[in-house]
């Protein structure tokens, strides 16, 4: 297997672009990246594994949704730096719930594919909201509050984070449960906007919390001081 992996020209990049195509229809479903470990896992299991640049980790396609990709073939291009894989796609390929990730016409912005699956049910509301914010980063500010907020720059975004944190604190002091929930939702949204601008997936927050889970608060604090 190592000889196969070494056919890739890794000197150009540590991440190999991968085009994913439906084995029956030849429709292009998505494009992702593999590092050496993801390629090895994909070759050995014949189940697609990728490296997420936003999550900063290996991820198995379908690990949250169950919509896995069974790989039938691997083809490298003439420059040995791009891979084409043909797969059987369980469910849908796109996190939006559409069959393919390529559903938006570039010039007009028209959507040319219907949602087939409820993505919130697949990924949870936090990940779905984050991806929605990402999609709206380049939207028309006159029609999207998220795009309008982002267009105003980081000072406005951060002001809203601080403002919502203050509102949550006041609700807490007032022991107003309904208001705490409302303000926590507002704070979460604005934090996700800030993270999306920096392309930091909420999955990385989950990873950090998981890292701390088996570490006492004192040990975690000392580890940060040592770092």
* DSSP 8-state secondary structure symbol assigned to residue 220: H
Task: From 142, 112, 113, 137, select the one nearest 193 (Cα to Cα).
Answer: 137
- CATH architecture type of domain 2-117: Roll (3.10)
3-state secondary structure 68-104: CEEEEEEEECCCCCCEEEEEEECCCCCCCCCCCCCCE
Positions of E strands within 81-224? 83-89
pLDDT band at residue 217 under the 50/70/90 scheme:
low
pLDDT band at residue 63 under the 50/70/90 scheme:
confident
145 vs 150: CA distance, rounded Å:
9
3-state secondary structure of 67: coil
Q: What is the mean pLDDT of residues 208-214?
A: 84
3-state secondary structure of 198: coil
Supply the pLDDT for residue 210. 87
* DSSP 8-state secondary structure symbol assigned to residue 169: H
Q: Kindly report the CATH number that applies to the domain delimited by 126-226.
A: 1.10.287.1080
Res. 224: pLDDT tops 90: no
**pLDDT tens sequence across 138-181:** 888 988 999 999 999 999 999 999 999 999 999 999 999 999 99
Mean per-residue pLDDT of the chain: 91
**pLDDT tens sequence across 77-129:** 999 999 999 999 999 999 888 999 999 898 888 889 998 887 766 678 898 89
Q: What is the mean pLDDT of residues 28-41?
A: 97
36 vs 47: CA distance, rounded Å:
15
Please state the domain extents for the chain: 2-117, 126-226
């Amino acid at each position: 297997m190592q000889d196969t992996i070494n056919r890739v020209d890794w000197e150009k990049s540590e991440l190999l672009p991968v085009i994913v195509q439906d084995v029956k229809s030849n429709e292009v479903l998505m494009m992702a990246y593999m590092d050496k470990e993801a390629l090895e896992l994909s070759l050995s299991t014949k189940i697609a594994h990728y490296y997420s640049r936003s999550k900063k980790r290996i991820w198995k396609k379908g690990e949250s949704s169950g919509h896995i990709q069974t790989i039938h073939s691997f083809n490298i291009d003439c420059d040995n730096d791009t891979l084409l894989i043909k797969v059987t796609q369980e469910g849908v390929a796109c996190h939006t719930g559409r069959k393919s990730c390529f559903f938006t016409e570039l010039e007009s912005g028209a959507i040319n594919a219907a949602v087939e699956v409820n993505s919130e049910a697949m990924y949870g509301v936090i990940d779905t909201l984050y991806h929605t914010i990402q999609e709206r980063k380049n939207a028309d500010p006159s029609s999207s509050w998220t795009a309008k907020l982002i267009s105003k720059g980081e000072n406005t975004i951060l002001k809203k984070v601080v403002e919502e944190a203050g509102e949550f604190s006041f609700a807490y002091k007032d022991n107003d449960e309904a208001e705490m929930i409302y303000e926590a939702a507002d704070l979460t949204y604005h934090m996700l906007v800030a993270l999306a601008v920096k392309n930091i997936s909420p999955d990385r927050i989950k990873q950090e919390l998981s890292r701390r889970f088996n570490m006492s608060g004192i040990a975690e604090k000392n580890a940060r001081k040592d770092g």
